[in-house]
Amino acid sequence: MFPTYYSLLGKFTKTIGKAMIKRAVTCVVAALAPLIAHAGCSENLQNWFARLHPGQALDAAHAVCKVWPANNALTIGVLPLEQKSSSDGPNVVDIEVLVADTATGAIVAHRFQRSAIHYGEDHYFDGVEIDTARYQLTSTQRAFGVRLKSSGGPPADMSGIATLSLYLIDGQHLHPVLDRLIVSDWTGDRDGPCTSTSETSRTLALGPVGTQGYAVLQVAEKYVESESRLEVDTCSGHTSPAQRRNVMLDYRDGTYRIPDAMRYAD
């Protein structure tokens, strides 16, 4: 007897249902994989630090790690440690940047940077962000970024800063090809209930290939001032037109040259 229409429909529906369930499970597993890997890398933060800086104290609140989307076999970690400063000196944070094997946690390459960021007594270290945007500097070399942030100050004189560095893997070492470009620099002045601000922000994009085979870095800069004054019982704000400019950073002799006004000073 030939199968009826309804029996064929039932088999078809059951087959499709199984396929959809299988696909859904696959998608869920794929979605959870980075989270599972991230949980694993977080467990390695103290182990990495103990191996590289035995006897010292990790700033665990600001230590971060992330599986590299460009290569899931590798995990990026940044381990901050605060220097002991004198009572009248600035607070200083060193960082250890590393790349590790995602599966085993073994360190593949690393670099220690002393005095990566510093800030005044009334300011705070806001933390670290691992930037895995597509920084394809050559046809075979892809960099990753590390952003550092600090801010603070009294209401009448607030300020904050953020920097971006780019690293390439060079054997067992990490090579900083871009060293702390200032990507955000802002100030705030509170006068009573009203706050006036000014901010310079910079974004990075890849340009054409330069003379030494590395992509030119295109920096788009924007400066904005916003003034707020008390009029009657309300703060009245005025934002000036944004001032913009574009700057090209060329790669020469192992690093991208940053103009002094855009480079974080040690």
pLDDT computed for residue 139 by the predictor:
94
Number of domains in the chain: 1
- Mean pLDDT score, 19-37: 40
- Mean pLDDT score, 55-77: 96
220 three-class SS: strand
Separation of alpha carbons 261 and 182, rounded Å: 9
Of the given ranges (183-192, 205-214, 227-236), which has the lowest mean pLDDT? 227-236
pLDDT computed for residue 85 by the predictor:
66
Q: Is the pLDDT of residue 151 over 70?
A: yes
Percentage of the chain beyond pLDDT 90 is 69
pLDDT computed for residue 87 by the predictor:
64
Q: What is the pLDDT of residues 204-218, one digit of tens each?
A: 999 999 989 999 999
- Mean pLDDT score, 129-152: 97
The first and second tokens of residue 110, run together, are 């690393």
- Mean pLDDT score, 190-198: 87
**Nearest residue to 131 (alpha-carbon basis) of 82, 164, 88:** 164
**Band of the pLDDT at 31, cuts 50, 70, 90?**
very low
144 or 253, greater pLDDT? 144
81 or 265, greater pLDDT? 81
> What are the contacts of 42-50 at 24+ separation with CB within 8 A?
44/75, 44/77, 44/100, 44/105, 45/77, 45/79, 47/105, 48/77, 48/79, 48/96, 48/98, 48/100, 48/105, 48/107, 49/79, 49/81, 49/96
Q: Is the pLDDT of residue 34 over 60?
A: no
- Mean pLDDT score, 163-190: 97
In the predicted model, what is the mean pLDDT of the chain? Answer: 86
Q: Where are the alpha helices (DSSP H) in the chain?
A: 5-52
13 or 124, greater pLDDT? 124
- Mean pLDDT score, 160-188: 97
- Mean pLDDT score, 176-196: 93
**Band of the pLDDT at 6, cuts 50, 70, 90?**
very low
pLDDT computed for residue 29 by the predictor:
36
Q: How far is CA 176 from CA 146, 169, 241, in A?
A: 10, 9, 35
80 or 231, greater pLDDT? 80
Domain of residue 35, residue span: 5-262
